[in-house]
Structure 1
Amino acid sequence: MPDVSSPAPDSSAAVSAASVPADGTAATGGAAAGAPGGARLRGGLKLRHIVFLGLAFMAPLAVFDTFGLVSETTDGHVPLAYLAVLIAVGLTALSYARMARRITSAGSVYTYAGKALGAPVGFLVGWSATLDYVLLPMLNALLAAIYMGAVLPAVPAWVWVLSTVVICTALNLVGVRPAAKVNVALVLVQGGVAVAFLVFAVRAVVTHGRSFGAAGFDPATVALPDLFGGASLLALSFLGFDAVSTLSEEAEHPRRDIPRAILLIVAAAGVFFLAVTYVMQTLFPDVSAVGDIVGASPRIARYIGGAAFQTVFVGGYLTAVLGCGLTQQMSAARLLFAMGRDGMLPHSVFGRLDPRTGVPAVNVLVVGVIAASAVFLDLGSAASLINFGAYVAFAAVNLAVIGFWVRDRRAGRPEARGPAAAVLQLVLPGLGLVVNVALWISLDTPAKIVGVVWALAGAGILALRSGGFRRPIRIPELVE
């Protein structure tokens, strides 16, 4: 075993749910789901912008974030763990794409679940989803400190955390179009570094006389609880497809481009993640040889390409950090905006837009402050907390598709009848629901405890908004 230890501006206040258009959608390119005169997000994003924003959110280099942790958990079966989570994500992406064609709102899962399953469920799902949306920038800042610490260990971690948060917050405040253009360049740099890593890793496998086999994919050599435990940490690698659904109001052609972007992102990321982890696992069947489990990837980069490539790798990862942080704050701020605009969160705070940039600036700053708390967490804890909200959101979107299928059948709509509709709108979402629930159950206990406490806090907010559940909570019903 090798030893490597050495749209138009609008400045008005947010509107309540009662004043949002009945379908929560816009008839044309990306107008917001706000009431006439209400707060609106600006349109203008094309398909390429949306795809690159999604890829930047998940980052091509995200595959390296948790490789060491998952390899240790699954006893050297990271590729199989990625395959398991890709099944869940693939089924869920189909459900997201279907919902994005039906509802063009910045609220994503919050709006999907609210319109399909009722406003209270929508709020609780959206509230749970904020756990991963709001905490992802924090994880991103933590990863910046880990990777830079591998190259410049003398610099305190908090310096990297705060620097990352400040830069990403500043870029978010200038507007969505400039941020999208910056992300195109950042993703291209990441892609180049990732391909170089893959080439060096394949060369190292051949040089050391290892053979490419199926060991990393063999389910007979890993316990099922260990496999699902490792896979449960990997949802954050794919969260870019989920995040682009929050950009529907800012897309030029949301019903066409958001679903396309979702499926393109999942397909591209899935193939790339499987290829990279397969080569890395072949090179290091036992990741303990690396020494530092959390910082395994920078050490592997040094092993396969020397100190010079490690520097290039970490530099490439810094572009991933900036791209991730930028889009993660962007999506979190828009989810909070949608809930604030509907009055589910204080709309005087969360439902307002900057009149100059059209950005929910206060929300961006709130997420930035939370991200700065990364100095107090470790990678494993942060990843588990984020995935709690992710799996709740994934399960809810699959359930929302089933809910609309039931409603459409009762209404006699032809698109809900026949075996094809049953497969696409009942069977596949049902499988996605089951797999996501299984992965949620596999999360570690502390993450589930914190997640349940967070959900209970959301129930408390819901109780306050409804007068102790005596008044109905309204999110306008979908009008076909």
Structure 2
Amino acid sequence: MNTEVESIKKTNSQNGNSGYKDELKRVLTLKDLTIYGIAFMTPIAPAYIYGTASQLTGGMLALAYLCAMIAMLFTAYSYGRMAAAFPVAGSTYTYTQRAISPYLGFLAGWCMFMSYVLVPLVVFMVGAAYANVAIPSIPYWVWVLIIGGVTTVVNYFGVEIAAKANLYLVGLMGAIVVIFVFICGKSLLGGVGEGTLLSIKPFYNESTFSISTLIAGGAIACFSFLGFDSITTMAEEAIKPEKDIGKAALISCIVGGLIFIIQAYIIQLVWPDYSSFASSDTALFEVAKLAGGAFLAGLYTFAVVISTLTAGLTGQSSAARLLFGMGRDEVLPKKFFTHLHPKYKTPTYNIFIMCTIGIIGALTLNISLVTELLNFGGLVGFMCVNLSVIVYYFIKKRERKIFSNLIIPALGFIVCFYLWINLSTFALTVGFTWLSLGIVYGIILSKTSKNKLPMISDM
């Protein structure tokens, strides 16, 4: 207990030097933060993209996940480095703003905001789609309202409640994933699909392999990893952010990546013909039904709905806290976006905004298009954080540690940039349109005497 108190005092001092005071409640441990990241990534993430991604990769999504995990580890390391330097809410926005420029920081936050908004939107859509397939008598739109409403209520009552909910829900989801993999493996031994547990095809299929398909699949696979970075938005609610944020980001990235790879591997063996799904949006419902009948299909659907609650909780919470950080710096209207509930210390107005956007979007947009847009903002944010490590540590602070302060973040930047430029034309077009709107808004904001973008001095 004394150690926690000392850590809180130390962090309070750091925040004070940053010009901020602690406003959010410090209650999250390393375990809570790690569970938070895994919950946002969600152990059952392949359900969200498998139908589309398996076609893009020629049935080698397991390989795409492996490459994406390695790439994301570089970026996870960079997030940890920046969280140690700036343990405050705001994540990508805060790091880029302070390390490089308030203007670039604003644009990074603008792009990440798009991603954080779209994550709960996607999970509402996927959860409602699977639930509607399992129980057609309940309309899709009703499921959207149920999932959106539950996540909003839990987040409203505070991060402690959300952390406890995530712990139990992630545990339940993990157990179902284990059952799913076990039954799929048993079905393979019974002659289903490839009829074997051992095959190189999910990682390398000579007839379909190409670098272009691997890159396209890797870019989509990055969607599943959008979650470890959300841990950094909880820095002001972590007990020891300067130590635990970085550790939690790396742990969640590795654990989540391995879970994704195992599922993609076994699923490809059970259903080799990735082009024959009746619906790409609910492809794994079909896989589960083939491997384990109605029981496994129903159980897997239940897991998907649970995953929408965990990812929805963390996605909505992260977006709300990103808005809180931008509002505190008066990049957004301060009075509204920094409002905290007097008892629960949660940014309630921001939570309600995220709920509204998520529900409206889930009722009007297409899953695959939203996923592509989400990756645009996420990869821009990742590039900015990697660049921030180089600028802040290697250039400004003159800490000439070649490997940790230059090579690792540079590799993270290069990989993310390569994936980014290989996104679809649609994603790039809409993404740059959103970015252009951010530039215009930033210019207007900087010309306003009352709400100039804050110029924060070097620390």
* Common fold by TM > 0.5: yes
Indicate yes or no: 2:454 matched with 1:474: yes
Q: 1:285 is paired with a residue of what secondary structure?
A: coil
Say which of 375, 385, 405 aligns to 1:425: 405
User: Structure 2 CA distance, aligned partners of 1:238 and 1:467?
Assistant: 37
Give the residue type in structure 1 aligned to 2:155.
N
Residue 36 of structure 1, CA deviation: 7.8
Indicate yes or no: 2:365 matched with 1:377: yes
Say which of 107, 110, 114 aligns to 2:90: 107
Alpha-carbon deviations, 1:388-445, whole Å to 9, x = none? 110001111111111123324xx5x5xx23xxx2122111211111111111112212
Say which of 310, 314, 324 aligns to 1:327: 314
Residue 362 of structure 1, CA deviation: 0.3
User: Structure 1 CA distance, aligned partners of 2:212 and 2:138?
Assistant: 39
- Kindly indicate whether the alpha-carbon contact (under 8 Å) linking 1:29 and 1:43 is maintained by their aligned counterparts in 2: no
Alpha-carbon deviations, 1:438-468, whole Å to 9, x = none? 1111221222111111111111221112118
Residue 193 of structure 1, CA deviation: 0.3
Alpha-carbon deviations, 1:319-372, whole Å to 9, x = none? 111111111111100000000001011111112211121001000000110001
Write the mapping of 1:211-250 to structure 2, written as runs, cut at 5 A. 212-218=198-204, 221-250=208-237
Residue 192 of structure 1, CA deviation: 0.3
Indicate yes or no: 2:281 matched with 1:281: no
- Kindly indicate whether the alpha-carbon contact (under 8 Å) linking 1:26 and 1:104 is maintained by their aligned counterparts in 2: no
Relative to structure 1, is the Cα distance of residues 303 and 107 closer, same or farther in structure 2, using a 3 angstrom cutoff? same
Q: TM-score, normalised by structure 2?
A: 0.93
Residue 28 of structure 1, CA deviation: 2.8
Relative to structure 1, is the Cα distance of residues 304 and 219 closer, same or farther in structure 2, using a 3 angstrom cutoff? closer
Residue equivalent to 1:64: 47
Residue equivalent to 1:394: 382
Residue equivalent to 1:47: 30
Residue equivalent to 2:196: 210
User: Structure 2 CA distance, aligned partners of 1:466 and 1:27?
Assistant: 35
Give the residue type in structure 1 aligned to 2:185.
V
Relative to structure 1, is the Cα distance of residues 294 and 101 closer, same or farther in structure 2, using a 3 angstrom cutoff? same
Say which of 422, 442, 446 aligns to 1:442: 422
User: Structure 2 CA distance, aligned partners of 1:211 and 1:395?
Assistant: 38
Give the residue type in structure 1 aligned to 2:10.
T
Indicate yes or no: 2:403 matched with 1:403: no
Residue equivalent to 2:108: 125
Residue 103 of structure 1, CA deviation: 1.2
Q: 1:287 is paired with a residue of what secondary structure?
A: coil
Residue 222 of structure 1, CA deviation: 1.6
Residue 94 of structure 1, CA deviation: 1.0
Q: TM-score, normalised by structure 1?
A: 0.89
Relative to structure 1, is the Cα distance of residues 65 and 355 closer, same or farther in structure 2, using a 3 angstrom cutoff? same
Give the residue type in structure 2 aligned to 1:255.
E
- Kindly indicate whether the alpha-carbon contact (under 8 Å) linking 2:270 and 2:291 is maintained by their aligned counterparts in 1: no
User: Structure 1 CA distance, aligned partners of 2:377 and 2:427?
Assistant: 10
- Kindly indicate whether the alpha-carbon contact (under 8 Å) linking 2:28 and 2:238 is maintained by their aligned counterparts in 1: yes
Residue equivalent to 1:136: 119
Specify every segment of 5 or more residues in structure 1 that has no aligned partner in the other structure, as ranges. 1-24
Specify every segment of 5 or more residues in structure 2 that has no aligned partner in the other structure, as ranges. 1-6
Aligned length in residues: 447
Say which of 291, 295, 304 aligns to 1:308: 295
- Kindly indicate whether the alpha-carbon contact (under 8 Å) linking 1:30 and 1:249 is maintained by their aligned counterparts in 2: no
Indicate yes or no: 2:234 matched with 1:252: no
Residue equivalent to 2:132: 149
User: Structure 1 CA distance, aligned partners of 2:14 and 2:363?
Assistant: 36
- Kindly indicate whether the alpha-carbon contact (under 8 Å) linking 1:30 and 1:42 is maintained by their aligned counterparts in 2: no
Residue 38 of structure 1, CA deviation: 5.7
Residue 184 of structure 1, CA deviation: 0.6
Say which of 324, 333, 344 aligns to 1:357: 344
Relative to structure 1, is the Cα distance of residues 110 and 422 closer, same or farther in structure 2, using a 3 angstrom cutoff? same
Q: 2:117 is paired with a residue of what secondary structure?
A: helix
User: Structure 1 CA distance, aligned partners of 2:270 and 2:205?
Assistant: 19
Structure 1 vs Structure 2 CA RMSD: 2.2
User: Structure 1 CA distance, aligned partners of 2:443 and 2:84?
Assistant: 32
Of 310-319 and 211-220, the range deviating more from structure 2? 211-220
User: Structure 2 CA distance, aligned partners of 1:192 and 1:248?
Assistant: 29
Say which of 153, 164, 171 aligns to 1:188: 171
Alpha-carbon deviations, 1:267-301, whole Å to 9, x = none? 10111111111111122222123332221111111
